[in-house]
Amino acid sequence: MKNMTIKTSLTALTLAMGLAAAQQASAANWLMLQGTEPAGSAPRAKVWGFIQAQYQKDFSKPFAHPSGNDVYIPPKLIGPNLDDQEQFNVNRARIGVRGSNFPLDSKTNYFVLLEMGRNGITEPGNAFAKVTDASVTFNHIPGARVRVGLFKNPGPEEGLQAIHVFDYINFTTVTNQLMLERFADSNDMNYVGPIPGKPLATVPNANMNQFSNSVGAFRDTGVQIFDTFNTGGLETAYAIKVGNGNGMQITDNDSNKDVYLYISTEKVFGGKGPRREGWKFFAWSQTGKRTDPYTPTTEYDRKRYGAGTKYLKRPFRVTAEYMKGKGVIFQGPHKPQNQYNDFDASGWYVEGGWYIPKTNFEVDLRYDTYTRQTNAAGSEDRFKTTTVGAQYHFNKKTRFTLEYDIRNADSDSAGTQKQFDGIGNRVALQVTAIF
């Protein structure tokens, strides 16, 4: 299987390099923006970063546990620690350095980023800080740039885009559960609930996040071939990455490798950088295997696919994306063992924004739906969320974001439905400052 995976990636690479023989474009997309620097003009070292401070409140109600205690499941609590329904948090505080070897070699550049906020990256293990990105890109081969190290995987728009320009505070459910992968080890055990006759230490309780490793954060350590080129007035980009399949954990945990494929084509209207205007269509796939840490002789296929489109031309923005997955379907941060499965899942979202002319205000609206265990009779779970949001841009690098999530979840399982009952709405406020 490992040889077949490598052959698949090499075949795709050959096809992509053939396409890339066309003239390269100078405008940037996410692949270029995060992995390259302007040829001949990038500084040796540019320090940059951003801070995101937020407040969230969840209005859900607990369910009555058979022990007689009121219990709050993860969807009713605020992350990353999941021990309360209301909190202030500096959820992201990142600082990085990027640049090139110019004037020694303008064709080689690097990217390093450190996370010091409290989130799914740093909370496991109570780490003060963690490196989220550390990569070097070689731009020597026309049509086939090579990036090596730890960096974002080519994939869904919510994961690939820069988080500091994300128009919402919380990810869609389909992205959060299907694509934001969690990595368990043999010491991470499922939460078994309160002991009958013994009251919980706190309500809500702090036993709902059982993972001791960082979330994947849409990243992996590996090597990527990518580039951007012009085809008939369109900007087309491709990426092929082979990685460990172990997320933010830089070391590998088995002999398997993941293969990530991505292609996009865009009609560029104007501008540059993360707010460039255009109409983009994209598709991607991620395939690999996961070793069950509780039964190391057992492996599960993990397959993810998706396609979507994004339109941005002020004053309007529209994005839509569909995703599908098989195997290793996340069951919740309180159930690490249960995610090693052969379940199917799928979901989609559509969102839009309106930049109110002659003001600094923007209003946003998003609908997302996610269904898991679609191949397990009597166990299918369904999630639907409508998000109403607004942003105020103080300037190009500082903004205030407000969102209100109207949430609904139901299940074919009577036991799960009892836990879903009472899932309420959620309000979130966030300040983003880029430097």
**Partners of 405 in the β-ladder:** 387, 426
- Residue 231 vs residues 20, 307, 361: alpha-carbon distances, Å: 9, 20, 36
Contact 340, 292 (CB under 8 A): yes
Q: What CATH number does residue 6 fall under? A: 2.40.160.10
Longest CA–CA separation in the chain, Å: 72
Question: Domain span at residue 234?
Answer: 2-434
DSSP for 39-71, written as a single string: TTT--S-EEEEEEEEEEEEE----EE-TTS-EE
- Kindly state the helix (H) or strand (E) to which residue 159 belongs, with its residue range: helix 157-160
227: enclosing H helix or E strand: strand 219-231
Q: What is the pLDDT of residues 420-433, one digit of tens each?
A: 999 999 999 999 99
Residue position matching structure tokens 């839009």: 352
Count how many domains the chain has: 1
Contacts of 405 (CB under 8 A, 6+ apart): 170, 385, 386, 387, 425, 426, 427, 428
SS3 assignment, position 163: helix
pTM for this predicted structure:
0.90
**% of the chain residues with pLDDT over 70:** 90
Q: What pLDDT, in 10s, does the model give residues 28-41?
A: 489 999 999 987 77
Once rounded to an integer, what is the mean pLDDT over residues 143-162? 97
pLDDT at 4 over 60: no
Q: DSSP code of 14?
A: H
Residue 8 parent element (H or E): helix 2-19
Q: Tens digit of pLDDT for each residue in 184-230?
A: 999 999 987 766 655 444 444 447 889 999 999 999 999 999 999 98
CA dihedral over 66, 67, 70, 73, signed as positive or negative: negative
Integer Cα distance of 310 and 306 in angstroms: 14
Q: Which of 3-17, 236-250, 359-373 has the lowest mean pLDDT?
A: 3-17
CA dihedral 228, 264, 257, 185 (to 10 degrees): 120
